[in-house]
Amino acid sequence: MSALQSDKVAATVVYNTPLNGVRAHMYLNADPTTGVRVRNYSQEEKEVEIENIRGKEDSVTLDTAGFQFYRAPSKHTSFANNEVIKKEYYPESIELIQKLTGATGSSSLTTVRIFQTDVLDFSQN
Judge whether residue 107 has pLDDT over 50.
Answer: yes
Q: How far apart are CA 13 and CA 106, in angstroms?
A: 27
pLDDT at position 110 is 67
Residues 40 and 88 in one domain: no
Condensed to tens digits (0 to 9), the pLDDT of residues 27-79 reads 888 889 999 988 888 899 999 999 999 999 999 998 999 889 988 998 988 88
120 and 62 housed in the same domain? yes
Mean pLDDT of the chain: 82
| 75 and 41 in a common domain | no
Same domain, yes or no, for 119 and 62?
Answer: yes
Same domain, yes or no: 87 and 124: yes
Segment 74-96 shows an average pLDDT of: 88
Name residue 6's amino acid. S
CA–CA distance, 81 with 89 (Å, rounded to integer): 11
User: Which 3 state secondary structure label does DSSP give 108?
Assistant: coil
Nearest CA to 14 out of 41, 51, 38, 46 is that of 46
Element (H, E) at 84: helix 82-84
For 1, the domain range is 1-52
pLDDT at residue 120 in the model = 46
Provide the pLDDT confidence category of residue 119 given band limits of 50, 70 and 90: very low
- Whether residue 89 is found in the same domain as residue 38: no
Same domain, 71 and 109: yes
pLDDT band at 12 (very low <50, low <70, confident <90, very high): very high
Number of domains in the chain: 2
Asked if 101 and 42 sit in the same domain, the reply is no
Q: Do 36 and 77 reside in the same domain of the chain?
A: no
